[in-house]
Structure 1
Amino acid sequence: MVSAGDNRTRRDRDAPPRRADAERSIAAILAAAFDVLGTNPAASMTDVARAAGVGRVTLYAHFSSRAELLKALVHQVLQETRHILDTSLADNRPADQVLAGIVQTSWRQLDRHRRLRQAVLAELGSDWVADQHDQVFARLTELLTRGQDEGVFRTDLPTSWMITTVYGLLHAAADEVDTGRVSSADVPQLVIRSLLPSLAG
């Protein structure tokens, strides 16, 4: 006869593989969702499940709706963005040069996810998206304040408006690329040449 204590031990031994399987499924779903929604913003959950090689039941067990899946994708992108900014903030070059580097790396990230951005804005709305950026904005505020102290950024504008200018230009560039009026490869220098003079101290 197996005791209750033995049953608990077996369940504990079984738990890590189950967690590992779940983590693999989630990773596969997110990777597939980036690809599928990055190609077709209107793609369905069935499309994502098929691309991930999982069943709909498994997909919905991890993400109860398309909106929840989109939120998870946004959070992953923002985690990458925070890592980019943390690395940039450790750079001791003048803040305007650091900002130019951030524009280049941020554009590469935004360009990869331009169509996903369309799906997120359509389903979750711009207010929700903006609310998720608090930590990103805090890091940019730190850099802009540093640049003001260094004398490379102007001090007659609120840092919140300066951040709006940065994101406004990047998102406008994404829209221009979508329409075919601007080449993706040209965007970083176009934004840098437009942005830095407007912020220069």
Structure 2
Amino acid sequence: MSVSVVAETGARGRTRRAIVEAAISVITDNPAATLSDIAEVAGVGRSTLHRHFPERTDLLRAVALQVHAASNAAIEAADPTCGPVLAALRRVVEGHLDLGPIFVYIYTEPTIQADPELAAHLDTGDEVIAEILARASADKPAYPPGWARRVFWSLLLAGYDAIKQDGTPRHQVVDAIMHSLTKGTIT
């Protein structure tokens, strides 16, 4: 199964996008939501949803690809190779917090992670962040390979949780993530 996304146009494409967007919205609030719940929010019948996504795993795959594309777009918009390292990382953190808790779901959902090809695809796109983290921590103790990258994404996951579960203001979460990065793995 290929991880490529076919861009559909016209009514079929709009319907498909509406279903994926509805799934993102619904699953963010309730990961156990039914396909009927998603169809209702999308404004389509369950049969229409099944024409586009015959199985729940097909819909989850489309959601994962959409969230991954949004993550890559957030990285690109943050322009992490421009300016000082810490300012660039802050822009990436801020952009990713805008993605919200669906990000956590996609990267932890067992159904998605059970698809080796999709999981491998989802593990791409953040290479520039890994490079910046490596550059920023070049004069620090030797960490295991990929450690700074894992810490970066773990802190984002903790940030989503703090916002959703505790109601922590976004600016405090950004500051906490940056402080943890700069006082922990980077400086």
TM-score by length of 2: 0.78
Structure number having the greater helix percentage: 1
The alpha-carbon deviation at position 87 of structure 1 amounts to: 3.2
Change in 2 beyond 3 A, CA 1:175/1:74: same
Larger Rg: 1
SS at match of 2:98: helix
The alpha-carbon deviation at position 136 of structure 1 amounts to: 2.6
For 1:40-119, list aligned pairs within 5 A: 40-89=30-79, 91-111=81-101, 113=102, 117-118=104-105
**Paired residue for 2:108?**
121
Q: Distance in 1 between matches of 2:110 and 2:61?
A: 10
Counterpart contact for 1:94–1:147, Cα < 8 Å: no
Unaligned 5+ segments in structure 1 are 1-17
Unaligned 5+ segments in structure 2 are 1-7
Seq. identity, %:
25
Q: Distance in 1 between matches of 2:72 and 2:107?
A: 19
RMSD after superposition: 2.8
Q: How many residues align?
A: 177
**Paired residue for 2:3?**
none
SS at match of 1:135: coil
The alpha-carbon deviation at position 169 of structure 1 amounts to: 1.5
Q: Distance in 1 between matches of 2:176 and 2:114?
A: 27
SS at match of 1:183: coil
**Paired residue for 1:135?**
124
1:28 paired to 2:14: no
- Cα deviation code 1:32-52 (max 9, x no counterpart): 212222222221111111221
The alpha-carbon deviation at position 57 of structure 1 amounts to: 1.9
Change in 2 beyond 3 A, CA 1:197/1:126: farther
The list of structure 1 runs, each at least 4 consecutive aligned residues, that deviate by more than 4 angstroms after superposition, is 125-130
- Cα deviation code 1:101-156 (max 9, x no counterpart): 21121122134x36xx44873452656585343223323223224435xx6x6362
